A = this chain, B = another copy of it.
């Protein structure tokens, strides 16, 4: 593989690696922000004032309908993925099992290995091609991207229909291809895309506008629905509706509101219910609603879930062990290489699995209470099966369940140890691949394996149920990697279907987070940092009271007059060296009187809303909110708008379109205060004024995201101009 890497790529790899090691000290300008504060201009206020009490009630009902639809579609997608994966993986394992059984006696097991590797690589190839060539943003779990979206950062193409299609296809391929990945993380992304699509009542990719839900075509409303979609995704993936709501809240912390929370909750409910219902039909027991999520941890019997006080310190130790968070993987940029790497990993996964099954002689009697669907006899005596095969010859979900529930004595400690190591390295390698894949299940599986091992070793000293320790280990590992606490606790409790383990799981997750944060950030945060996204945490760094708005703000600021020359507007917007997205509108002596966005100016230019032309032959219709909504969210670039020399001399009256009451702060405001205002209201631009109300600067997301806490106090990142 090394021969094919160009020098540029080597440089790029080293560059990325360097970034990874020393963390990122730059913020990119490519990422635009979302406007989570409504632009309350005259058009908007007029529309709101026209609306009756009944009108608002209808809107509210429409919001509930949309949330219901989001939940339904997300559940349906989850169901589709589940069935497709189960069918494809089933065929694969069936074929390989037959082949192995055939060749165990004949003695040509290498043929079985090749069959397995080829099948794996073939599945993975399709998935990797789709991701690498069609929509690279569909790679990975998509959770960091959704976190960014809810935080207010616009990641290009992340909520498009095309992304969804590729994501679903990709995840089916990679899971069926036997990679060390899960299908849960991608569900969260899928739910978010569904939400963004449904709530807008149109698909820009398909060029289809249903002319419904036009009121919701703005960032604020879209974000609310996307958080409902993400929650629905979690809910479908883990059968955890409350966990889903908490996930959305943990990530989109700044906009909690009771009505919204209930809608999110409703979407989650509908999602898990839909999945449950359709799976019950698929499994031939329509109406029996007992498989609420994609992953099912199986029933933990109430009698067996007791734990004792002396076990608590053990759980905490396990939590501290859970912070293995290595994501060293090569970053390859050329699509065909990416596909080949994915196929290679798929083949290696098959080979490693095969070798481990082959060389293990850990035979277990074939009992009544086994959950395996494909017990493999291999070289074991009749009536026995190879227990190593159980771990590998299975979808990871089933393996996790086996580790939780199989009776004590099912697994040999050595088998488990080797499995943990092998699977860990496979998972680490796999994480960097260009395939749609989640990290939840591999983490759970690794954790369950070493947890069970821990339990088995412990049972030499005291009595211990290894299944319980498998669960704790899984929680510790997952917590150490994703660093969520509240939502993850609820997700795991909902997935186990039993509240009794709630307290130990909490303890374990907290320990994993505290210990983990001491060493390195969580996987998603690393991912976000690697992409140098201007992500705002919930609070300003504690030692930042030294800084005031004056030091933080960008200045000088390009301002427009209330009535501005078209030529100047076009020139400012076309200036590629300083790409601004918001412009204060000022009266004489730079007194602030409004704020207008680039997107609004673009629409105005496109419709040629010029003062001189109003009286000309074109019977100029009054611009309405609808025109802005139609252009949302893909406003054309300024280059695509032709403005003639004549028109350049015209004037534009911005009064009606600007937000006349932008939030402002005085120059002396401390950074934490600016931060609080910015974050609590989901702002994109905050105007800094002097005590005469004159514009002196503008605070944007990048100005705030620059400051963060380093090892020895406040650090400032550089703003990269890439």
* Residues of chain A at the chain B interface (Cβ within 8 Å): 40, 45, 48-49, 51-53, 56, 241-242, 245, 249-250, 253-254, 256-259, 261-262, 265-266, 269, 272-273, 277, 286-290, 292, 299, 301-302, 306-310, 485-486, 489-490, 493-494, 496-500, 502-503, 506-507, 510, 537-539, 542-543, 545-546, 587, 591-593, 660-661, 663-666, 668-670, 673, 676-677, 680-681, 689, 691-693, 709, 712-713
Contacts and interface: CB of A to CB of B under 8 A. Distances in A.
Given A486-B245, A497-B498, A53 B670 contact: no
B677 A663 contact: yes
A253 B257 contact: yes
From A245, A266, A680, name the one whose CB has the most chain B CB atoms within 10 angstroms: A680
B242 A490 contact: yes
Contacts of A256: 249, 253-254, 256
Give the top 5 A-B pairs by smallest Cβ distance, nearest first.
A287-B309, A56-B542, A48-B545, A680-B680, A661-B669
17 contacts: A53-B543, A245-B486, A254-B256, A261-B486, A262-B486, A272-B503, A287-B308, A287-B309, A288-B306, A288-B308, A493-B499, A494-B499, A496-B499, A497-B500, A592-B691, A661-B666, A677-B681
A241 B506 contact: yes
A131 to B, nearest CB: 32
A640 to B, nearest CB: 33
A51 B543 contact: yes
B691 A591 contact: yes
Contacts of A496: 499
A592 B502 CA distance: 53
Given A498-B497, A668-B661, A265 B40 contact: no
A65 to B, nearest CB: 14
Given A538-B257, A543-B52, A40 B503 contact: no
A290 B292 CA distance: 26
Please tell me how many copies of the chain the complex holds.
2
Contacts of A249: 249, 256
A164 B348 CA distance: 65
B269 A709 contact: no
A40 B713 contact: no
Nearest to A713: B53
Contacts of A680: 680-681
A428 to B, nearest CB: 27
Contacts of A262: 485-486, 510
Contact of A56 (B543, B666, B669): B543
A251 to B, nearest CB: 9
A273 B500 CA distance: 12
A347 to B, nearest CB: 40
Q: Which of A308, A692, A713 has most B Cβ within 10 Å? A: A308
Contact of A693 (B499, B676, B691): B691
Given A545-B48, A693-B693, A665 B661 contact: yes
Contacts of A506: 241, 265, 269
Contacts of A288: 306, 308-309
B665 A302 contact: no
A468 to B, nearest CB: 14
A286 B258 contact: no
B292 A503 contact: yes
A549 to B, nearest CB: 8
A257 to B, nearest CB: 5
Given A306-B290, A664-B664, A486 B670 contact: no
A250 B241 contact: no
Q: In the complex, which of the residues A49, A56, A543 has the most CB atoms of chain B within 10 Å of its own CB atom?
A: A543
A83 B577 CA distance: 73
Contacts of A242: 242, 486, 489-490, 493, 502
Nearest to A252: B256
Nearest to A507: B269
A512 to B, nearest CB: 13
Nearest to A690: B693
Given A259-B538, A542-B56, A265 B310 contact: no
Interface centre among A250, A258, A266, A496 (most CB of B within 10 A): A258
